[in-house]
């Protein structure tokens, strides 16, 4: 038997389909008895409105989009998306919205344009914001509600997310308290907001601790680049005694490289990561890193986006801050000869 339509319900309940629609969306103008009867019939027939038809008539897509603007290799390695998506889904599905996922390799402007033009989504989530990213302006121009996900530092664009500064700062302070004075940083691309904010936090924390400016090598969040950056740091005339990495993947690659060179971690070198990947706790030595509740973050982002789509007041979000998890990859600074 085919899915029942609103007409079937109307006929069965002996009313017009308008009445059924009224009952469903509980709008005023129906006698309580009638409303109850309609709902009962609907229940009994197992009818739920077709999102397709509804989407057409209310001119909404009942879906939001997430454009992954990373090249597949990077997307692949990242611990962020799966957890984030889990969080999104919780909120979206209970509100009857679907999550559309798109992967845009390069020229993602076209993807956003198409999304808006085809009307497949009511709003989008923007991740991996670049410095001077053209997308917020583009989306504003397209009139597509958007929530920019990420740290909120130094952006004109309002963003939603967990600031990574405190986590990175905590890592530096932790190292300082262990006696480290040469704390280097392997950063993400400085073209990306979260690459820049982590670097800034590291630099500031050093300054606050009264230490001289540290060495920073820019990498791109990949294992490969993390290893290369570490190599550069270890080859310095005066190598650092601690390295703060902008993510776990680079930290793990760096840690392995150091070990391969016969450098003891944390005996000779301390390292910290960012993300708290599942494997981080099981490495040898286990990785000191920064953890955030990404699932909660996803929930908050979805909630906010739906509010924007419905034109409601944005409710304040309260996300637990990033937190340093101290493990075995950090230890007292070695005595310098």
Residues of this chain that interact with a second copy (CB under 8 A) are 3, 48, 50-53, 55-56, 61, 63, 72-73, 75-79, 81-83, 85-86, 89-90, 93, 98-103, 117-120, 222-224, 226-227, 249, 252-253, 255-257, 259-260, 277-279, 281-284, 295
Closest CA to 17 of 58, 46, 62, 47: 47
Angle between the N-to-C axes of helices 17-24 and 6-13, in degrees from 0 to 180, rounded to the nearest 10? 100
**Residue 56 Cβ, how far from a second copy at the closest point, in Å?**
5
**Which one, 19 or 258, has the nearer CB to DNA?**
19
List Cα–Cα distances, 212 to 181, 199, 239, in angstroms. Answer: 8, 15, 14
User: d(Cα 4, Cα 12) in Å, to the nearest integer?
Assistant: 11
The answer to whether 128 touches 192, Cβ cutoff 8 Å, is yes
**Which one, 70 or 169, has the nearer CB to a second copy?**
70
**Residue 202 Cβ, how far from DNA at the closest point, in Å?**
51
DSSP, collapsed to helix, strand or coil, labels residue 207 as: helix
Both ends of the chain: CA-CA distance in Å? 83
Q: Name which of a second copy, DNA, none residue 152 binds, using a CB cut-off of 5 to 8 Å depending on partner kind.
A: none
**Which one, 17 or 181, has the nearer CB to DNA?**
17
Closest CA to 135 of 101, 110, 152, 162: 110
Q: Name which of a second copy, DNA, none residue 44 binds, using a CB cut-off of 5 to 8 Å depending on partner kind.
A: none
Q: Name which of DNA, a second copy, none residue 207 binds, using a CB cut-off of 5 to 8 Å depending on partner kind.
A: none
**Which one, 197 or 247, has the nearer CB to a second copy?**
247
The contact set with DNA (CB under 7 A) reads 2-3, 5-7, 14-22, 24-25, 27, 29-31, 33-35, 47, 49-50, 52-54, 56-59
**Residue 103 Cβ, how far from a second copy at the closest point, in Å?**
4
Q: Is 179 exposed, middle or buried (0-12, 13-18, 19+ CB in 10 A)?
A: middle
Query: 3-state SS string over 4-23?
Result: CCHHHHHHHHCCCHHHHHHH
**Which one, 34 or 291, has the nearer CB to DNA?**
34
Enter the DSSP assignment of 288.
Answer: B
**Residue 313 Cβ, how far from DNA at the closest point, in Å?**
20
């Amino acid at each position: 038997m085919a899915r029942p339509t609103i007409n079937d319900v109307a006929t069965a309940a002996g009313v017009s389909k308008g009445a059924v629609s009224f009952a469903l969306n509980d709008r005023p103008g129906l006698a309580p008895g009638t409303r109850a009867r309609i709902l009962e019939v609907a229940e009994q027939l197992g009818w739920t409105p077709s999102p397709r038809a509804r989407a057409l008539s209310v001119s909404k897509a009942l879906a939001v989009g997430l454009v992954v603007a990373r090249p597949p290799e990077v997307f692949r390695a990242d611990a962020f998306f799966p957890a984030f998506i889990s969080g999104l889904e919780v909120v979206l599905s209970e509100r009857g919205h679907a999550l559309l996922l798109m992967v845009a390799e390069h020229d993602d402007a076209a993807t956003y344009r198409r999304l808006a033009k085809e009307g497949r989504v009511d709003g989008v989530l923007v991740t991996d914001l670049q410095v001077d990213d053209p997308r917020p302006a583009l989306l504003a121009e397209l009139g597509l509600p958007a929530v920019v996900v990420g740290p909120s530092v130094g952006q004109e664009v309002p963003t939603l997310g967990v600031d990574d500064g405190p986590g990175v700062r905590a890592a530096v302070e932790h190292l300082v308290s262990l006696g480290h004075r040469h704390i280097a940083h392997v950063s993400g691309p400085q073209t990306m907001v979260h690459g820049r904010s982590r670097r800034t936090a590291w630099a500031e924390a050093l300054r606050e601790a009264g230490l001289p400016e540290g060495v920073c090598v820019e990498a791109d969040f990949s294992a490969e680049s993390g290893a290369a950056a570490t190599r550069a740091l270890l080859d310095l005339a005066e190598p650092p005694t601690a390295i703060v990495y902008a993510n776990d993947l680079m930290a793990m690659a760096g840690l392995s490289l150091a070990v391969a060179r016969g450098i003891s971690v944390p005996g000779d070198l301390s390292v910290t990561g960012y993300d708290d990947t599942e494997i981080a706790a099981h490495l040898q030595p286990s990785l000191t890193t920064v953890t955030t509740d990404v699932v909660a973050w996803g929930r908050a982002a979805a909630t906010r986006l739906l509010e924007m789509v419905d034109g409601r007041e944005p409710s304040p979000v309260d996300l637990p801050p990033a937190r340093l998890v101290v493990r075995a990859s950090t230890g007292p600074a070695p005595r310098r000869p």
